[in-house]
Amino acid sequence: MMYSKMVENAQKPSEQRLFLMKGKDVLSAYQFNKEELSVVIDTAAYYEKALVEKRRLRNMEGKIMAALFYEPSTRTRLSFETAMHRLGGSVITIAESLKYQTSSMSKGESLHDSITVVDQYVDVLVVRSPINGSAEIAANAAENPVINAGAGAGQHPTQALLDVYTILKEKGTLEGLTVTLLGDLKYGRTVHSLVDFLLLYGCDLIFVSPKELVMPEDITNKLCNKGIKIKETDNLLEAVKDTDVLYVTRIQKERFATVKEYESVKNSYIVDDTIVKKSKEGMLILHPLPRVNEIAVSVDKYPGAAYFRQAANGVPIRMALLSLTTGNVL
Ligand code: NCD
């Protein structure tokens, strides 16, 4: 685990800040104001410091988290489970794909009923589903906090929080940075959430994607209305010359209507040594993972290739979210 200045200098947030999110759900990135964002970041840094120093934390002892994952996951589910274990709590899990059973779930009814029941067993629920809006359904059914771990092509706020945390650790700041989002901007839920945080910091944005996979118009309109500078292009080589943070995404195969449509765009962009050599000095490369072909393995050796360090940051961020929303702090 990388030990940054931010983690080294981490202080316990004040009592008042620690209870700012108590009882709240985490459904989207746009629900956050800068104060809430900063308390999540500060609490995560404080927890990471405890992890690095091998201090034993027990503030979730006796509490149970339900991980309800109706879509594939490696990092998100396992880092949530690890986070709960690191805080001394326990975990119950459903991990199954709804690919062939979407009929009842897509009506919302059975998700509502499952959540109503599981809510009575646990203290916090973490939900992933292929249906956009599923986190809201879960939150309506549950009295305990619900954390959205990815909902269809909609939002993935906890990933975006760890992305911001990673940029802050690696770059020291977000102010004044140019962030380039690359790949599947249409279906990629991580970028849909990330832009809401980049907006709070006033970053300049470059969107690079195939024409078929551009950022949805409602999102670009929202950003423009808030005065964010956006450049949309299909030329990656040009874009990286001005980029401080390159955020690469996987083409979201599972969201395409037909295999043919996916095949036509699947290898549109590959970040390789040539791209990295032409990029702005010190460019940070992020990816929520899993990677398919979007980043050549040879790029892993660059100091700015931070995607595996980024995945590690999921643990302290999710420790912060679990304890802040349930009010079991530090
Ligand atoms: C992302 C997701 O599930 O949306 N992965 C993750 O949570 N780390 C990105 C992806 O699957 O491409």
Span 278-322, pLDDT tens digits: 999 999 999 999 999 999 999 999 999 999 999 999 999 999 999
CA dist 69 and 67 (Å) reads 6
**Residue in the block written with tokens 């880092």:** 79
How many other β-carbons are positioned within 10 Å of the β-carbon of residue 89? 26
Sheet holding 90-95, edge to edge: 90-95, 64-69, 124-129, 146-151
Q: Specify whether 69 is located in the same domain as 194.
A: no
Of the candidates 158, 224, 225, the residue with the CA atom closest to the CA atom of residue 197: 158
Side-chain half-sphere exposure of 253, counting CA atoms within 13 A: 11
Strand partners, 285: 246, 305
The predicted-structure confidence for 25-80, as pLDDT tens digits, reads as follows 999 999 999 999 999 999 999 999 999 999 999 999 999 999 999 999 999 999 99
Q: How far is the CA of 289 from the centre of ligand 1 (A)?
A: 6
**Residue in the block written with tokens 């690191």:** 86
Of the candidates 88, 19, 21, 24, the residue with the CA atom closest to the CA atom of residue 59: 88
Top mutation candidate among 190, 191, 256, 286 for ligand 1, by most atoms within 8 Å of CB: 190
Q: Specify whether 179 is located in the same domain as 71.
A: no
Domain containing residue 67? 2-154+314-326
How many other β-carbons are positioned within 10 Å of the β-carbon of residue 24? 18
Q: Specify whether 76 is located in the same domain as 93.
A: yes
Residues with CB under 6 A from ligand 1: 75-76, 150, 156, 159, 189-190, 250, 288-289
Residue 109 has pLDDT above 60, yes or no: no
Give the pLDDT band (50/70/90) at residue 20. very high
Q: Specify whether 123 is located in the same domain as 196.
A: no
- The domain spanning residue 26 has which CATH number? 3.40.50.1370
CA dist 160 and 28 (Å) reads 10
Nearest-CA residue for atom 12 of ligand 1: 250
CA dist 309 and 283 (Å) reads 15
Q: Specify whether 173 is located in the same domain as 145.
A: no
Q: Specify whether 132 is located in the same domain as 202.
A: no
Q: Which residues are catalytic?
A: 75-76, 107, 128, 156
Decide: helix, strand or coil at residue 232: strand
Q: Specify whether 219 is located in the same domain as 287.
A: yes
Nearest-CA residue for atom 1 of ligand 1: 288
Helix (H) or strand (E) holding 44: helix 34-52
Residues 6+ apart with CB under 8 A from 109: none
The two tokens of residue 302 are: 């660059």
Q: Specify whether 143 is located in the same domain as 18.
A: yes
CA dist 28 and 26 (Å) reads 6
Q: Specify whether 136 is located in the same domain as 167.
A: no
Q: Specify whether 167 is located in the same domain as 305.
A: yes
Q: Specify whether 228 is located in the same domain as 130.
A: no
The predicted-structure confidence for 240-283, as pLDDT tens digits, reads as follows 999 999 999 999 999 999 999 999 999 899 999 999 999 999 99
Q: Report the domain count for the chain.
A: 2
Residue 217 has pLDDT above 70, yes or no: yes
Q: Specify whether 196 is located in the same domain as 307.
A: yes
